[in-house]
Structure 1
Amino acid sequence: MADEKYRHIHLRGLGKASEDFRARGGGNKKRPPAISDRAAHAQALRRQLDESIADLENVLASQQESGVPAAKRGAAITVSARPSVPIEVGSKRATSPGLKLLSVRRASEDDDAPDAPEQATFFIAKKSLETLRKNLDEYAEWRDAPEAVGNDDIDDEEEDDKGRPRNFWLFESGATIRSSTLRDFWTDQIDRFPKKRTETEWEVWTLPGFENSFLKAIDKLGIKLLGKPTAFIETVVRNVSATPQQLEALVRSSASVVELRSASTFVSDFYDMEPERRAAVMENVASRILGPPADAPRVTLLDTGVNRSHDLLSSSLPQSRCFTVVESWGTNDRSGHGTRMAGVAQFGDLEGLTSSSLMALETALESVVVAAPTPTGEVPARDALMSAVALVEREPHRRVFCLAQTAQGEEENGRPTSTSAVLDQLAYGDGDNTRLFCAAVGNAPHSLEEPYQIAEYEDRNENYAIQAPAQAVNALSVGAVSLKDPSSSDVMVAPVGDLMPTSRTAKRWSRPHPIKPDLVMEGGNFLVERDGVFSRPSPAHMVVTTSHQAPISPLTISGETSTATAMAAGLAARLAARYPLYRMETIRGLLAHSAEWTPAMLAQAERDRDAGYSNQDVMDLLLGRYGWGVPDEERLFASAANALTLIVEDDMQPYERPLKDGKPQSIRLKEMKYFKLPWPEEVLRDLNQTPVEMRCTLSYFVEPDPHAAARNRASDRYPSHRLKFDVKRSGESDERAQLRNNQLAGGDMTESAGSGEGWVLPSRSKGTLVQDIWRGKAYQLADRDGISVVPVRGWWGDMPGQDRYERTINYSLIVSIRTPADAGGDLFAEVFPKIPAELFADAGTAST
């Protein structure tokens, strides 16, 4: 019975919205300790403020020459915090009235000086200077009991709370005020700041609305503009080529720069080795191919181009679907990387296709050249992404994007960059027409001259952090695993089922961060050299794929994370073909949901545990290396009698702005949703003490605000909103399950209920792909048939002027139950008849 396969149950309209909602808050942080002599402190700050703007008239004159409107002219100042005291900036933004927050550098973010005071950089218009001085005078006269200052709830972001003067907490936490330098605008790691006075490429982030004056300043200073501007919610990003001196003058004269970062372009990895037996493999596959149907989902390769005349690719990729973001580059593949990825996305490992039956392709291909064929023709990575999407979407079609490239030159600390933010923005789209991007996490560096050192593998590449743009929260980020068995004589770097030797990890990312990679797929293995120190790629353990040198040499090999990413994109497209009504949020969520950790991964986790790591650290290491593991294609594509998967697609309006006496009030969270799931209660009770597993996955996309990375509270204000799920506990009523997340739900909090134990994760991720696994006895799962989906505040709740609070957001909730194959009972047969016909999204067909 367990061998019988069913289509996953796909539902819409199941969730019930709460009539009223008030989130339960967490613990409060403390305000900074009180200043003992505020009058003296205010006097010092005022003196420093006047010194910092001593050159203001010259700055204003240069801004006037650039055409900056008089009301927007001013200067940048930097406030440094008291020792061991966080700088308090409240909810200020770059568009706030008065002090405009440009960036915050937290002490933990400065690798060169982790004990340095925190600092905030502001822009203040000339017209606001007197107001700031007045605030300082009022601050000097403020009297408050020390305990009242120390115990205020830091979540109260009103600047004038409890009658205090505006900017009170900034003054209370600040130690000094000075004129800002160019380094104060730098929000990448400080060691990446250009140290030479020569011309280099920069990313310049500016406020919108300064287009004419900014371009006039650029022209006057002789600075070169590179690529196209990229617009986000409150910032515009441009690449320029300039010296530090030119950039400093631009900051002063344009009055619009909010931050500076490293520039980037796309790069890929290459292999030049040829596999054995390529002729036999080629003949076997080419004779069996049936081209894809016209409506087949497409894998859109954002790469180096594809040799579409290849016998294995021509039926999937007509010339009309080959594009380039720069006309002079052409659409042909000069390096070979894109053609390799095309073969992997469409066929996987060609050497494994040993069947003699016809092969009906379910997916098609598209190609866009986004990587310059020569270094002199590079364009910013974010420009290439946006142009590529615009090119292919001239023809509406269902597609999965494959980005097996990394953005060279951007930070590797997990924080959003311009390229990852563009990827997030493109994935979100308008919130309804979302896009799925599969992104490679990148490879540890190696070459023939500098081979990969085996010592790096002992800590599973903890020194090589995941590269941009794979930190994008909306992406499906893919690492690599070694799955091919070695011969008895081979000495390989990676054990079977463990991390591919050069796959990067999230170990060096600062917490908290989303789980990345999301999953891993085959990327080959490396062979240990005779010296036992170095290693090299093993041709026998790489993936056989198509070559751009066809017909002379039609096949080659490929590996590492680019190959794993192409495999994931092909798998996602095949899932989209078999379930054409699934949203992209569901496709992404189901790939992670179906993934499993291999025995080698779990063995490594046990070694970490034995080494003294806490349970939280063990899980962080496991997920930061392998994500959720390797997708199980059997579970991905179908349910079974002992493996039931429920797909619930729903929506929610997370915010509202109520009226009081006809006047708009502050934006607040609006509602949560509760799902009473169709549940195999009888089968689970009959199984009683049998060990079972439940998986829950919540997948959704967000609109990014990348400038949040330079401001306060970057971790929770980058996304427009966040969601979390909470499962009803054993012995708990539906009312109490909702009350745990909603203070306004009906019910009695004194009612007893089972504990929340049994979950794999000690705490769940802040990303947009939230997943956890529960393991326990069948009878304990029998009444756990309710799930709350709860909103958490993001930047949409801070910006009433954007009207985002009126928007509805989509999400996918995936729940599966798995029992032992020989345990008996049919989960699917009990659940399917319980579902009302109107809830089925795909007409309720049961067979595969």
Structure 2
Amino acid sequence: MARPPRNRSHFFLDGGGQAEPYTSPRTVISGLPPARARAQHAAKLSQSLATAIAGAQQTMAAREPGIAEGDRGFYLQFEIPAAERGAVDALENKPAGIELVAVPQIAAGEESITATVFVPERSLEFYSKKIDAYRTEQTKTGRPKNEALIARIEDVHLAAVRSLFTDASELYPQPNAAAWWEVWIRDGRLASFRIVAGRLNIPLKDHAIRFPERDVVLAHGTEATIARVVSNSNAIAELRLAKDTPSIFLEMGAPEQVEWAEDLVGRLVAPDMLAPAICLLDSGATREHPLIAPALPAGNQHAYDDNWGVGDSQFWNGHGTSMSGVALYGDLQQTLAQQGAVELPYWLETVKILPPNGGNDPLLYGAITETSMTKAEANAPLRKRVFCMAVTSEIGLARGRPSSWSAAVDQLTYGGGALRRLMVIAAGNLRGDIHAAEYPDRNDLEEAESPAQAWNALVVGAYTDKINIVDPAFGDWAAVAPAGDLSPVSRTSGTWDRQWPVRPDVVFEGGNFAHDGVNPSSHIDDLQLLTTYYRPNVRLFDTFGDTSAAAALGANLCANIIAARPTLWPETVRGLAIHSAEWTPAMKGHFDGAGTQAMKMAMLRRYGWGVPDISRALRSATDDATLVVEDVLLPFKKEDSRIKTRSMNLHALPWPRDELLDLGAADVELRITLSYFIEPNPGERGWTRRHRYSSHSLRFAVKRSLEDLQQFRTRINRAAEAEEEGQIGAAAGGDNWFLGMIRDRGSVHSDIWRGSAAALAERDAIGVFPVSGWWKEKPGLQRWDRAARYALVVSIRAPGADIDIYTAIENKLEVEIPAG
């Protein structure tokens, strides 16, 4: 049976959520502490602490008068069993000026973690008194005083520079070797750090990235040099290795099809002056190319460093020009072959972030990204745009842990809450030889590259439908990936820790590899996309692929959504892109074979939510109706000195109840996508409750068919309580949801419910509610009164049913349905 055409506009609703009082509980360290022989444990810790404090007093006394800046203090490193990780928050004490600064990552299977705190001199005896009270005093319940903390401490030492290093241990610079360090500065102490660094003649990069509690700069020196800074200031919170290696795969062929170019140029319709733009952060672009010039005025080209020029370069094999062709036309071969006018609904902007020859100096890529984005915005401040970046780095990856670059992307996209930005970035590609026998296991094991850890960006991986090889030179070769499956080089988040977002979000065509059964596989032209070549005086076309091409296609889709609906929020555009995605039959086969939630999550981290479609993103059908809601809630409030959750939004939906009841037992589908941006608060402090990365998180829950509204509210509050105890996805479990408890990662949540039409008829309410984040846990930063906006996309689909769901919803809405 043929499906009805998608010729109806979605229903776009402004707000509509009814705010209701809502409370989730305050959290404390839960569970019993390890059993300890009280006197012996106290004696051991007292001895270790006395040794550490004696060393600290010597260090403070040795401060260099001509170098030192800031109040005197020292760092202590605590060792805590890995099972007691939640106790690290209790090491911090704001009234005493004690701050938790660094919790380095540990390898899987390690039994303990370390946590480093800064202690001002005035609080020299703080922990000694805690231990003495544990040894000699009792609580009203008869337990040792301070047991919840002291019994969870295994040991304590005076911290060294290595104690502040939060990257993987193998990245730590060699002794006496000068390196560029990524220095994370405690709040308000950047100026004093620069003074100390200047007195020590330590080279610093000019750029700094600002986060709510940290500034990040780059400093060059040996371990001993950095140790002098630590000894002579109170500025440093943590150290990482500067990550400066962009990863772009540029093995391209050169198909010759130049005879079609002039025909296409003659059919192009240039963008309207008010059209949005795709802004590529890459290696520049060759504006002289006849297929690029109509969409790229000279004023739209910029460079991070003005001395670089704005054109593309041989060093990068014309990568930016290849990106430009895909961003404008998709797979150019299809555009060349189509008949009639070809409208360009958006402009192209390029910012050159890669130097014309060689790699960048080890600058902060987050600062490069910020400077480059603001250059484009300054040139056309009122223009809507989607930023696209396929430059990635494999240095310092850590199972999804945010990097300074990915956190900067989150900061830029959040835009201080006022200037939200939409950004599409590539998941990154495998490096070295690609062997068919390793597919797709190697893809699952090699994690998405920085800055793909960003929560707010749309992260794009690559799949492929390209399997036909017609070139006789490769007649005995075979495609590596089956049709509809993951592209052979696309990275995934299969090895990421469970709390981090799913990456990629979606996948687009990235081409395939071919192999002869003996040698490593390789690109061949038949299995790649066609695009524009950076030296049009030599030839006009080139082949292109991998996650770079996929990211350009992702930007193309987002720009088309913006062109059609220019008032939509960036969160909404991202939500529509993900909501429109579907898994291919090959991907569905893998999901169908996933017998557990863990296996299903592995597939989600490989494919994301599938392949987006522009028609689904923008259009409904009579049997497939979509509602799009943009709304705001206030997640938290202050009562006395405590921050509490404030309210949830309850959305009563214009459900086609009668029509669904008429369908009875017929199968229908409900899909919901919730998309919002978070404000990041990076800094490696264990990612515990008080040091969450995200400002807030939102969840959605749907009223069940046998629930009344009060029962629905009660269930939501119980789910929020479970989330506070670490049960991610508590609101989504069971009840015919396809993903259920595994959908609630990151800042976009999408899931599909399948069941009978009669059961769906009563599911006429959606609750959007907050769970905790650092806006709540850190009242001193005064973010608790900020509003959180979100996009909610809801679709009802009744494939094969002879029913007009769309008109039924339209009749229930008392708003004007947008034309077109």
Question: Once the two structures are aligned, what percentage of the paired residues are identical?
Answer: 34
Matched with 1:568 is 554
Kindly indicate whether residue 369 of structure 2 is the aligned counterpart of residue 385 of structure 1: yes
Instruction: Assess, with a 3 A threshold, how the Cα gap between structure 1 residues 121 and 734 changes in structure 2: closer, same or farther.
Output: same
| Number of residue pairs aligned between Structure 1 and Structure 2 | 794
- Listed as ranges, the gaps of 5+ residues in structure 2 are 721-731
Asked whether the 8 Å contact 2:89–2:690 carries over to 1, the reply is: no
Residue pair 1:93, 1:711 contacting (<8 A) in 2 also: no
**Alpha-carbon contact 1:266-1:370 (below 8 Å) kept:** no
Give the C-alpha shift of residue 221 in structure 1: 3.0
Q: Quote how far apart the aligned CAs of 1:439 are.
A: 0.9
The answer to whether structure 1 residue 465 and structure 2 residue 415 are counterparts is no
Indicate conservation of the 8 Å contact 2:166/2:238, yes or no: yes
Paired AA for residue 807 in structure 1: R
The residue number in structure 2 matching 1:739 is: 714
The whole-number CA distance in structure 1 between the counterparts of 2:37 and 2:259 is 83
Q: What is the match of residue 119 of structure 1?
A: 114
Q: How far off its partner does 1:282 sit? A: 2.0
SS at match of 1:357: coil
The DSSP-based 3-state class of the residue aligned with 1:462 is helix
The counterpart of 2:675, out of the listed 688, 692, 699, is: 699
* Code of the aligned partner of 2:112: P
- Does residue 615 (structure 1) correspond to residue 596 (structure 2)? The answer is yes
Code of the aligned partner of 1:32: P
The equivalent of 2:808 in structure 1 is 830
In 2, Cα distance between equivalents of 1:587 and 1:714: 30
Partner SS state of residue 686, structure 1:
helix
Sort the Cα spacing of 1:496 and 1:110 in 2 relative to 1 into closer, same or farther, 3 A: same
Letter of the 1:33 counterpart: P
- Tell me the equivalent position of 1:495: 482
**Could you give the per-residue CA deviations for residues 603-638 of structure 1, whole angstroms, max 9, x where no partner exists?**
23345x3xxxx5212211111111000012221120
Residues in 1 aligned to 2:709 and 2:86: alpha-carbon distance in whole angstroms: 43
Please give the alpha-carbon distance, in whole angstroms, between the structure 1 residues aligned to 2:719 and 2:403: 39
Q: Could you tell me whether the CA contact under 8 Å between 1:654 and 1:671 is conserved in 2?
A: yes
Q: Out of 799-808 and 674-683, give the one that drifted further.
A: 799-808
Give a deviation string over 1:58-112, Cα, whole Å, max 9, x none: 5325556366566x21111111125865462235669663432112246xx325x
Q: How does 1:477-516 map to 2 (within 5 A)?
A: 477-487=459-469, 489=475, 490-516=477-503
Aligned-partner residue type, residue 56 of structure 2: L
Decide whether the 8 Å contact of 1:12 with 1:649 is kept in 2: yes
**Partner SS for 2:420:** coil
Alpha-carbon offset, residue 778 of structure 1? 1.4
Aligned to 1:299: 278
Q: Distance in 1 between matches of 2:576 and 2:310?
A: 33
Distance 1:691 1:307, change over 3 A: same
Whether the aligned pair in 2 keeps the contact of 1:8 and 1:639 (CA below 8 Å) is yes
The 10-residue stretch of structure 1 (581-590 or 280-289) with the greater mean CA deviation from structure 2: 280-289
Superimposed CA distance per residue, residues 486-541 of structure 1 (whole angstroms, 9 cap, x where no aligned partner): 1475510000100000000111112222111100000000001341x510012111
Q: Give, in whole Å, the separation in 2 of the partners of 1:514 and 1:716.
A: 17
Question: 1:214 and 1:416, CA in 2 relative to 1: closer, same or farther beyond 3 A?
Answer: same
Aligned letter for 1:682?
A: D
Q: Tell me which amino acid in the other structure corresponds to 1:586.
A: T
What's the offset of the Cα at 1:46?
2.4
- Aligned to 2:393, the other structure's residue is in SS state strand
Q: What does 1:18-33 correspond to in 2, within 5 Å?
A: 18=20, 20-23=21-24, 29-33=30-34
Aligned-partner Cα distance in 2 for 1:445–1:96: 49
User: Are 2:338 and 1:355 aligned?
Assistant: yes
1:100 counterpart residue number = 99
1:186 equivalent in structure 2: 165
In structure 1, how many angstroms separate the alpha carbons of the residues matched to 2:690 and 2:701? 21
Q: Which amino acid aligns with 2:372?
A: A
Q: Secondary structure at the match of 1:597?
A: coil
Q: Which residue of 1 aligns with 2:696?
A: 721
The aligned counterpart of 2:79 is: 80
Alpha-carbon distance in structure 2 between the residues aligned to 1:254 and 1:137: 30
Task: Give the letter for the 1:695 counterpart.
Answer: R
Once the two structures are superposed, the pairs formed by residues 409-808 of structure 1 within 5 Å of their partners are 409-446=395-432, 451-459=433-441, 461-487=443-469, 489=475, 490-531=477-518, 533-607=519-593, 609=594, 614-658=595-639, 664-707=640-683, 709-713=684-688, 717-742=692-717, 756-763=734-741, 764-808=743-787
Q: CA 1:69/1:223 → structure 2, altered by over 3 Å: closer, same or farther?
A: closer
Query: Secondary structure of 1:667's partner?
Result: strand
- Tell me the CA shift for residue 25 of structure 1: 8.4
Q: Rate the CA distance shift 1:801–1:277 in 2: closer, same or farther, 3 A.
A: same
Task: Specify the code of the residue in structure 2 equivalent to 1:834.
Answer: K
Alpha carbons 2:696, 2:775 under 8 Å: kept: yes
Could you tell me which of 107, 113, 116 is aligned with 1:110? 107
Q: What SS is found at the alignment partner of 1:536?
A: coil
Classify 1:789/1:457 alpha carbon distance in 2 versus 1 (closer, same or farther; 3 Å): same
* Gapped regions of structure 1 (runs ≥ 5): 150-163, 659-663, 746-753, 838-842
Assess if the C-alpha contact under 8 Å between 2:80 and 2:154 holds in 1: yes
Mark the CA change 1:636 to 1:91 in structure 2 (over 3 Å): closer, same or farther. farther
Deviations 1:693-731 (A, max 9, x none): 111010000100001x33351797111000000001112
1:550-585 per-residue CA deviation (whole Å, 9 max, x = no partner) reads 132111111000110010011101101101121110
Distance 2:554 2:267 in 1: 23
Q: What is the distance in 2 between the residues matched to 1:600 and 1:14?
A: 39
**Structure 2 CA distance for partners of 1:196 and 1:28, relative to 1, 3 Å:** closer
Cα distance in 2, alignment partners of residues 714 and 260 from structure 1: 22
Matched, 1:256 2:231: no
2:350 to 367, 370, 394: 367
Contact 2:24 2:644 in 1 (8 A): no
User: How far apart, CA to CA, are the structure 1 residues paired with 2:299 and 2:429?
Assistant: 32
Q: CA distance change for structure 1 residues 440 and 390 in 2, over 3 Å: closer, same or farther?
A: same
1:342, 1:781 → 2: CA distance? 45
- Work out the CA distance in 2 between the residues paired with 1:195 and 1:442: 28
In 2, are the aligned partners of 1:274 and 1:555 still within 8 Å (CA)? no
| Residues 404-424 of structure 1 deviation map (CA, whole Å, 9 limit, x = unaligned) | 110342324201110000000
Asked if structure 2 preserves the Cα contact closer than 8 Å seen for 1:225 and 1:238, the reply is yes
Aligned counterparts of 2:795 and 2:526: Cα–Cα separation in 1: 37
Shift of 1:766: 2.5
Partner of 1:161: none
Give the Cα separation in 2 of the matches to 1:51 and 1:230. 37
Go from structure 1 to structure 2 and tell me whether the alpha carbon gap of 1:312 and 1:458 turns closer, same or farther (over 3 Å shift): closer
